[in-house]
Structure 1
Amino acid sequence: MIRAVLVLNTQGKPRLSKFYEYQPVEKQQQLIRNVFAVLCSRPEHVSNFVDAESFFGPDARLVYKHFATLYFVFIFDSSENELAMLDLIQVLVETMDKCFRNVCELDVVFNYSKIHTILDEIIFGGQVLETSSTEVLKAIEEISKLEAASNTMNLVSKSVSNWRSR
């Protein structure tokens, strides 16, 4: 099971955090600080796999990938394969790249809900749902169409209400 997904910038600011096991906010913040402390202290040419038992408890592993100014981090237990998790990070980044044309830190900050939707299409409740960025993009496009239709219906409904109240 995936325990958490984090996206941190190179200064340690969390740009996305999703915990799939309940953690109080203070504990989440401490875990994020611990993860960043580990990541920023690692040399560039070492493994992307880290034993995370010291701060996430027994059986916890961490895999990360550093792209530009962002660290993409997955914390998971032994039921997940480390290489599969590294590949899942790649799927997440590729999907975000396709959605935002070369994703950057500002895309993550200003498109928070869309990023969460992408993540929810890939992982739900700590379980991997989809590993194809093409399929995730199709789902995101469908969701966007539904949201646009809903917004249009809301505008029409408000216009009718305003017209009737005159």
Structure 2
Amino acid sequence: MIHFVLLISRQGKVRLTKWYSPYSQKERNKAIREISGVVLTRAPKLCNFVEWRGHKIVYKRYASLYFCMCIDEEDNELEVLEIIHHFVEILDRYFGSVCELDLIFNFHKAYYILDELLIAGELQESSKKTIARLIAAQDSLVETAKEEASSISNIIAQATK
């Protein structure tokens, strides 16, 4: 099971967090500090697995972001690396070569993509095409809602003149 997902910049700023196990806010902050301290200071040639508090942290660096996932000790690290890579490929496909700024300004879309990929710390959908189709459907719903809200605003504005 994946306990949480962290996306951390090279400067140590958290860009995305998703918690699948119960942690208090104090525990979350402490975990983020500890994990970012360990991951950011590791040499690039070292393996991408770190033991941490009876769990394993699996991480991978893509451009300026570290994608980290905390898993149980007995879980398969290579499978989690594949999940991280799968998530990055979906982000790349959606944003067109995803970068840190895409995640900063469109964090809600990144969370939506992660929610389509993982549920309760387990892989939900392995098909990139299915996830892309679901994201496109969600985007079209958002656009329709914006258009309806705009037309309602126009009707109200005309009625109050």
TM-score (norm 2): 0.92
Q: Deviations over 1:29-66 (max 9, x none)?
A: 2111111111123221121111122xxxx3x2111001
**Where does the alignment leave 5 or more consecutive residues of structure 2 unmatched?**
none
Structure 2 partner of 1:132: 127
The 2-side partners of 1:134 and 1:79 are apart by: 30
Identity %: 32
- State the TM-score, normalizing by the size of structure 1: 0.89
What letter is aligned with 2:79? A
Deviation at 1:13, TM superposition (A): 0.7
Measure the CA separation in 1 of the matches of 2:130 and 2:74.
24
CA distance in 2, matches of 1:94, 1:135: 13
- The change in CA–CA distance for 1:46 and 1:163 in structure 2 (over 3 A counts) is same
Equivalent pair of 1:64/1:86 in contact (CA under 8 Å): yes
Where does residue 37 of structure 2 map in the other structure? Answer: 37
Instruction: Give distance in 2, aligned partners of 1:10 and 1:78.
Output: 26
Q: Does 1:95 align with 2:90?
A: yes
Structure 2 residue aligned with 1:106: 101
Partner of 1:72: 67
- Residue equivalent to 2:143: 148
Aligned residues: 161
Helix, strand or coil at the partner of 1:44: coil
Q: Is the 8 A contact 1:64 1:73 kept in 2?
A: yes
Cα deviation 1:68-114 (Å, max 9, x = unaligned): 11100011224642111100100111111111111111111111101
Q: In structure 2, what is the equivalent of residue 23 of structure 1?
A: 23
Q: Which runs of 4+ in 1 moved over 4 A?
A: none
Q: Tell me which amino acid in the other structure corresponds to 1:70.
A: L
Aligned letter for 2:51? Answer: D
CA distance change for structure 1 residues 12 and 145 in 2, over 3 Å: closer, same or farther?
A: same
CA distance in 2, matches of 1:46, 1:134: 33
The equivalent of 2:6 in structure 1 is 6
State the 1:133 CA deviation. Answer: 2.2
Aligned partner of 1:31: which letter?
A
